[in-house]
Amino acid sequence: MSALQEGTLLLIDKPLNWTSFDVVNRIRVAICKHYNIKKLKIGHAGTLDPLATGLLILCTGKWTKKIDSIQAQVKGYSGTIQMGYTTASYDMETEPVEVEHDVKLNSELVAKASIQFTGVQNQLPPIFSAIKKEGKRAYDLARQGKEVAMDPRQIEIFDLQLKWDGSDEISFNVVCSKGTYIRSLAHDIGQFLGTGAYLSALRRTSIGDYSVDKAESLEVLLSNFN
């Protein structure tokens, strides 16, 4: 138990439909119950949306002091973008609306999009986000049907690979800076292509040098504390 209390990292492959907080809380409860302790200092190094899977890093003990530095590292993601529709949340949380368009996707246009969205740029976060506006979370205001004016923020896309097979989906791999919203990236790519788009699947593959390939499933990790 001393290693967990003193400080360590837990690499978890977060399952679909779990919030990052739910994962942290579930593991905290399991560890405290297993070792018969009242509390454990533990937190995650970077939120992952419920509709996303992949690498979630948990820090315990003294390692919680490293959370900010881990969060600041470059992140990698893979996923798919659904073309021809948009959603208010830029992902599958809200209902898709079909977009009328005359543009036909082609490999050259997709390649241009990859170049267009690589590098330093200003990105507008989605209104369905945890960013605070007037003291309230933007997603709370959005769910109440209120208009929310989001402020652009500077981000950097270090590498963006878009793969189109002729269908109405584009698969991608991206390496980006802290603060990048992949949902916004998907929406903006749809705008650039003239077809509309939303994020249909997302998986975080890396944070800095930490890879999801080294992560354990939540089920396996919890089994260690049964």
E strand residue ranges, 114-208: 119-123, 132-133, 136-137, 153-164, 169-176, 197-207
In angstroms, the CA 172 to CA 186 distance is 10
Whether 28 and 41 have beta carbons less than 8 Å apart is answered as no
- How far is CA 219 from its chain centroid? 21
Torsion sign across C-alpha atoms 42, 46, 50, 56: negative
- Give the residue from 201, 182, 204, 181 showing the smallest Cα distance to 56: 204
Residue with tokens 């981000």: 155
Alpha-carbon distances of 43 from 66, 71, 109, rounded to whole Å: 10, 12, 42
Tokens (6 digits) for 78: 């893979």
Q: Which of 13, 22, 49, 102 is catalytic?
A: 49
How far is it, in rounded angstroms, from Cα 15 to Cα 79? 15
213 tagged catalytic: no
The count of residues in the chain is 226
- Residues designated as active site: 49
